[in-house]
Amino acid sequence: MTNTLLILPGDGIGPEVMAEVRKVIDWFGAKRGIAFDVSEDLVGGSAYDTHGTPLTDATMAKAQEVDAVLLGAVGGPKYDKLDFSVKPERGLLRLRKEMDLYANLRPAQCFDALADFSSLKKDVVAGLDIMIVRELTSGIYFGEPRGIIKEGNERVGINTQRYTESEIARVARSAFELAKLRGNKVCSMEKANVMESGVLWRDVVQEIHDAEYPEVELSHMYADAGAMQLTRWPKQFDVIVTDNLFGDLLSDLAAMLTGSLGMLPSASLGAPMANGRPKALYEPVHGSAPDIAGQGKANPIACILSFAMALRYSFGQGDEAARLEAAVEKVLADGLRTADLMGPDGGTPVSTQGMGDAIVAALDAAL
């Protein structure tokens, strides 16, 4: 089966970090016999500069056809005054919406070499490896009615939290399937104590568990209590599944437990295609960082680890994903540090390119 991949470097540091991913892709083709049919296109500000739109219909069509999309980052201050309809971020949102990528996977993994970078005590975060599954295409960000209206002499802002049973069920199944590959444990978070949508969420997750995944350990927790527990003892969790709003908040909280936003990948998955693979978009959690673009300061690890997620979830290469993750861990253990990782313990400073080269060298050395 041919592995097809669309690369969208985007804006700011996106092209720089993606160049290092291309080295890794080439390595897997040359040294592991895993070939990829790679195409590349524009998204975000770069697409607007060329085409007057953050995502062309042709690029959208390509994204629908390939096995996976790998995106760098979008946006920057130069686009702040654009009309909302053509801002760079609209390109990313269109990809998510039209590909129907309903399950957002945000791992929070703390490499031992970086445990001191967290604001929490080292013993609390060292070895942390949790996955937050956020529902991505419904909930309060999309519910109707919404808007700002006038009532009497004042304005009123309205957003509606809305979920159907099927929307909850499909993201719950994604979480349970992931848990089977990990620690076999899911914690579902909502606010069933004050929100009817939370009551439905809890009911449906429990129903899916009882009917289809009784072998997976399931617990329920209110989302505010979940935030507290994430900072108290995060290693109690394996997979957390939650709605769009709470997932947005909790995944950012979990990200900072690891000490560096520049280290974290993500995946957004949809329904299986004809070949059985889910529609998928992979991207680093960090932004476009235009202030350091072109200076060789960007950390490519989050984008490289996003490709590792693609190996695991889109291309059925879990062992090779683990190989790549081990190479990243080895380089960090050896003390190599991009600018964002330079801390009080020092380390060997490397450029964006230097970090990519070191990871490829570590892959070679492990053969």
Task: Give CA–CA dist 114/122, Å, rounded.
Answer: 9
In the block, residue with structure tokens 């700011």: 12
112 contact partners, CB below 8 Å, separation of at least 6: 126, 127, 329, 333
Task: Give CA–CA dist 5/25, Å, rounded.
Answer: 10
Task: Give CA–CA dist 295/176, Å, rounded.
Answer: 42
| 145 upstream amide cis, omega within 30 of 0 | yes
Q: Which of the residues are catalytic?
A: 141, 191, 224, 248, 252
Task: Give CA–CA dist 187/207, Å, rounded.
Answer: 14
66 contact partners, CB below 8 Å, separation of at least 6: 4, 5, 6, 39
CB neighbour burial string for 216-244, b if at least 16 within 10 angstroms, e if fewer = bebebbbbeebbebbeeebeebbbbbbbb
Instruction: Tell me if residue 217 falls in helix, strand or coil.
Output: strand
Q: Do residues 147 and 123 make contact, with C-beta atoms less than 8 angstroms apart?
A: no
36 contact partners, CB below 8 Å, separation of at least 6: 3, 4, 5, 25, 28, 29
CA distances to 57, 103, 135, 166, 367 from 138, rounded to whole Å, are 23, 10, 7, 11, 44
Task: Give CA–CA dist 20/38, Å, rounded.
Answer: 14
